[in-house]
Amino acid sequence: MRQPLEPFQIQEALAGLEGWMLDDGKLLKTYVFMDFKASLVFINRVGEVSEKINHHPEILNIWNKVTLRLSTHDAGNRVTEKDLTLARAIQSLAVS
């Protein structure tokens, strides 16, 4: 089982993750794109990086908005370092 992070550890990490927040015990961020096609391109890129690190987000897509929620199932659906690693990887996708 993965070790869940303490709230203060999550808050410290969030300081370096623009737009990410803790929501109902999960990391959450919504990205807004020009249109549906651009949101799908982003979702596919998230899928590729998720497969590489073998950690997968909850994804909700509504037209040009993509909402991601991250938690670790084998840590009781709490936030672990694995979630922060994925959030950082996703953040770098959004800027590149």
2 and 72 Cβ atoms separated by less than 8 Å:
yes
| pLDDT higher than threshold 80 for residue 52 | yes
For residue 1, being part of any structural domain is answered with no
Q: Is the pTM of this model over 0.85?
A: yes
Do the domain assignments include residue 90? yes
The residues with which 69 forms a beta bridge, in sequence order, are 28, 58
Q: Which residue matches tokens 């990490």?
A: 13
What's the total number of domains in the chain?
1
Q: Rounded mean pLDDT of 82-96?
A: 89
Is the Cβ–Cβ distance between 59 and 66 less than 8 Å?
A: yes
Instruction: Measure the CA–CA gap between 35 and 42, rounded to whole angstroms.
Output: 11
Instruction: Show the domain range for 59.
Output: 7-95
Does the pLDDT of residue 96 top 90, yes or no? no
CATH code of residue 67? 3.30.1360.20
